[in-house]
Amino acid sequence: MRYTTREKRVFNINIILGLCFLFLVLHIPAKSQIQGYRGYEHWYIGLNLGTSSFYGDISERSGAFSNINPFSGDFYQDRDFMFGLMLTKKINGVFWTRLNLLAGTMDATNSTENLYFKSDVVEFTGIGMLSLTEMFLGEDITRPINAYAFVGGGIVSYRSWKRMIDTDSLIDMEGTGKRKAVNFALPVGVGVDYRVTDQFTLTGEFSIRRLGTDRLDAHSKDGSYREGYGLISLGLHYQFEMPEAIMKRNIRHTGKSTDPAIRAYNKKKAAVMKTKGYKQARRDKRRLERQKREWLILQLFKRSRLDMATE
């Protein structure tokens, strides 16, 4: 498949943004590390609710960024609801990771071509989040507000129906067989969260998803660019800790107790638990004692033979 000059330019911009994000992550200052960090701490689960806005062929808006940002008048047209579940892990004071599961509907119209479409969308993505507040202002656990940027990748599955506006007749479909159509999605965006309590946090996000298809609206044009959609969402997230046993590796039991009272008793009474090493040591000790007895018996036997010979 040949790409247009515009598609190549957008792809190069995405690559540059990804490399810049990776560079910032790899150069996180050491002071941003969480003191006493443990793998089972700083987990968040949340529910997000937002509105999506499609941009592509069947749309009154163009794909230019100037028409898909919150300051554009047509940004708020043809919006549909989406909801999602999020699982987030705080790696350190600056870098976070998140898994997103989004689902919802999407539709848009193009009155010039007398077309409209509807689509059911499910998205699963993994993203990396960079705390801009912590990176530029330093880590402060008492600060309630945090601004961040994120970028990621994943897959999106969808079913779409394209119809005529005046007659409502069906023209084309996409992903309406036994399986939905599947393609990749590249989300990028910014957000702000506000810590209400130690456990609950409110979030607000604005993001754009670039898709690897020109058929989300079941419509394609020669020379058209890749489609996508924007998302504005609000969410409530709850902080929790994973069970410590899940996050720790299994430690091999040595046969020695970790209880201080039992260890003190064993040390005082010279009582040790019968581990493999203890049993082997006991066998070695008995073997050495047996060899010592045999040597003494042999020496006594030799001496008695010598005494009898001298008589």
Residue 186, domain CATH: 2.40.160.20
Are 121 and 230 members of one domain? yes
Are 125 and 174 members of one domain? yes
214 has pLDDT over 90: no
Helical (H) or strand (E) element with 197: none
Are 236 and 288 members of one domain? no
Are 128 and 34 members of one domain? yes
CA pair distance 215, 219, nearest whole angstrom: 5
45 has pLDDT over 50: yes
Q: Residue 276 — very low, low, confident or very high, per pLDDT cuts 50/70/90?
A: low
- Burial category of 36 from C-beta neighbours within 10 Å (exposed 0-12, middle 13-18, buried 19 and up): exposed
Assign residue 116 a region: left if phi > 0, alpha if psi is -120 to 50, beta otherwise? beta
pLDDT in tens, 146-202: 999 999 999 999 999 999 999 999 999 998 777 889 999 999 999 999 999 989 999
Cβ-Cβ contacts under 8 Å for 111 (sequence gap 6 or more): 60, 165
pLDDT of residue 74: 63
Are 78 and 95 members of one domain? yes
In this prediction the pTM is 0.67
124 has pLDDT over 90: yes
234 has pLDDT over 50: yes
Residue range 292-301: average pLDDT?
80
Are 278 and 193 members of one domain? no
**Structural domain range at position 281:** 255-311
Are 38 and 138 members of one domain? yes
Taking all residues of the chain, what is their mean pLDDT, rounded to a whole number? Answer: 78
The answer to which of 27-36, 44-53, 244-253 has the lowest mean pLDDT is 27-36
Are 232 and 279 members of one domain? no
Are 231 and 272 members of one domain? no
pLDDT in tens, 62-116: 554 455 556 666 666 778 899 999 999 988 778 899 999 999 999 988 888 899 9
Hey, what's the torsion of the CAs at 248, 251, 255, 260, to 10 degrees?
-40
pLDDT of residue 144: 92
Q: Tell me which of 224, 247, 270 is where a domain ends.
A: 247
- Total domains in the fold of the chain: 2
pLDDT of residue 283: 84
The answer to which of 125-134, 230-239, 272-281, 295-304 has the lowest mean pLDDT is 272-281
Are 232 and 310 members of one domain? no
Tokens describing residue 40? 């089972």
Are 132 and 202 members of one domain? yes
Q: Tell me which of 247, 270, 297 is where a domain ends.
A: 247
CA pair distance 297, 303, nearest whole angstrom: 10
Q: Tell me which of 198, 227, 247 is where a domain ends.
A: 247
Cβ-Cβ contacts under 8 Å for 133 (sequence gap 6 or more): 143, 145, 146, 147, 148
Are 147 and 209 members of one domain? yes
